[in-house]
Structure 1
Amino acid sequence: MIIVYGLKNCDTCKRALKWLESEGIEALLHDLRDDGLEDGQLRTWVAELGWENMLNRRGTTWRKLPAAQTKGVNEAAATAMMSAYPALIKRPLFDLGEKRVIGFRDQEKEIIKKEYK
């Protein structure tokens, strides 16, 4: 089973869950706001995927942050912001067990298919 980390009202997460179902792949949504996330897990993902890949700079949450907070962001600051504001974590993030995949483009779909077909 894949655990999909995201937000229940995120359109991309909804599309990802529908796609997984259509592919016959069992999945469970872990809502980052409602279900929370342990700091240790976030740090593990940052080490594995890179904070630059995980930080969602395109969303409303990022745009609403003060410029002083967003200017010159480094790994420690990004990790702290993602912990405080879960919507700053790029989504969906797929936990495939041994590896994690972030995003929902064709490239990520192919990786998931290879793991589960």
Structure 2
Amino acid sequence: MYKVYGIPNCDTVKKTLTWLKDHNIPFEFHNYKTEGISAEKLKEWSKQVGWEVLLNKKSTTWKGIDPAVQATVTSVKNAVSLMKENTSLIKRPVIELNNEVISVGFDAASYEEKFRSKLTA
């Protein structure tokens, strides 16, 4: 089963959940705000897609972080630490299947491709 990680009041997460429901794709939702996220999971994702993909530098949360702190984020270790502390910095949603990241963010065209076998089943 797919696992969707995010924050329920995020517009991008809402779009994703709606898309999955509209296409009858079963999923489990993991809410960062209530369930948190482990450093191990963030490291695992970073190995798969890169911490640069996961860290949302366009977010208002990132823009609110002291520039001196921002400047320290130059490695997986520092990025993971900051994302664990501020889950709003993680680009959303992250979708996994069997612990493999299949998508970061929302892109309907990409979803059509990634979920094609489920859509025709």
Q: TM-score, normalised by structure 1?
A: 0.91
**Tell me, which stretches of 5 or more residues in structure 1 are unaligned?**
none
Give SS of 2:29's match.
Answer: strand
Task: Please name the residue that 1:74 is paired with.
Answer: 74
**RMSD (Å) for aligned C-alpha atoms:** 1.6
Distance (whole Å) between structure 1 residues aligned to residue 3 and residue 105 of structure 2: 13
1:2 and 1:27 in contact (8 A); partners too = yes
The verdict on how the C-alpha distance between 1:58 and 1:69 changes in structure 2, with shifts beyond 3 A counting, is same
The verdict on how the C-alpha distance between 1:98 and 1:57 changes in structure 2, with shifts beyond 3 A counting, is same
How many equivalent pairs are there? 117
1:110 pairs with one of 109, 112, 119: 112
Deviates more, 1:103-112 or 1:21-30: 103-112
- Give the % identical residues: 32
1:5 and 1:30 in contact (8 A); partners too = yes
**Tell me, which stretches of 5 or more residues in structure 2 are unaligned?**
none
Q: TM-score, normalised by structure 2?
A: 0.88
Distance (whole Å) between structure 1 residues aligned to residue 99 and residue 85 of structure 2: 26
User: What letter corresponds to residue 29 of structure 1 in structure 2?
Assistant: F
Distance (whole Å) between structure 2 residues aligned to residue 91 and residue 74 of structure 1: 21
